[in-house]
Amino acid sequence: MTLPDDVQGYERKRLSQHAVSEANWFFLIVALSLVNEVVPRLGMPVYFVAGLATTWLAAAFAHSHSSALGSHVQAAGYALAAVPLLVFIVLGLLARNRYLWAYFAGIVLYAADGAVFLLYYRDYFSAGFHVFILYFLVSGVVAALSARSLRAGALAEPEPVAEPPVDDKPSSNSLYPH
């Protein structure tokens, strides 16, 4: 069943907007990861479960080895902690522009990050929250794929509809007189 052009256009636009909206989760991940890096430096024992575990590992390495190896190692560790954040920013921007590979790469990287929380930190709550966010990222992929299939369907040439044959003779079996 095909939808009328106006309904199909509306649905395609709605799905595209949904895909863009779900790509914003990449930016939330980055923002919460940044807060997770700044707040402990202020002496507050607070963290957000949606942040990246890989930034924690790099920053923890830099912080723990800075006294023994010098401030250069600490700076390198913090620069290394910034790499995943930059990757997620770029993936978010690309996903907002409907590059599906960016969504897929982000999903794989965020799932791997959740595995770090689960296997290295044994933080089940953070790993579970990663699954929660992954649901929305996958929802964005589904919306983008659906919008793409509607766009492909709209571009396809519709098959001509054959007109039924017209019979000029009245039927002899007719119940109604002519």
Say if 41 falls within a structural domain: yes
**pLDDT digit string, tens, across residues 117-136:** 899 889 899 999 999 999 99
pLDDT tens, residue by residue, 65-97:
666 666 777 777 778 889 999 999 999 999 999
Is position 118 within any domain? Answer: yes
- Kindly tell me if the per-residue pLDDT of 167 is higher than 70: no
In a domain, 111, yes or no: yes
Q: Which residue has the higher pLDDT, 105 or 46?
A: 105
Question: What is the model's pLDDT at position 83?
Answer: 93
Q: Is 120 within a domain?
A: yes
- Do residues 19 and 143 lie in contact, with contact meaning Cβ atoms separated by under 8 Å? yes
CA distances from 109 to 65, 129, 164, 168 (A): 26, 15, 57, 69
Please give the model's pTM, rounded to 2 decimal places. 0.77
> Is residue 173 situated within a structural domain?
no
Report which of residues 169 and 103 the model is more confident about.
103
Judged against a pLDDT cut of 80, whether residue 174 lies above it is answered with no
Three-state secondary-structure class, residue 178: coil
Is residue 163 in a domain?
no
Calculate the dihedral angle through the C-alpha atoms of 131, 84, 44, 73, rounding to the nearest 10 degrees: 140
Looking at the domain assignment, is residue 175 inside a domain?
Answer: no
The count of structural domains within the chain is 1
Tell me which residue of 25, 15, 17 sits closest to 102, measured CA to CA.
Answer: 25
Q: Is residue 66 part of a domain?
A: yes
> What CA–CA distance (Å, rounded) separates 21 from 55?
25
Range of the domain at 23: 5-153
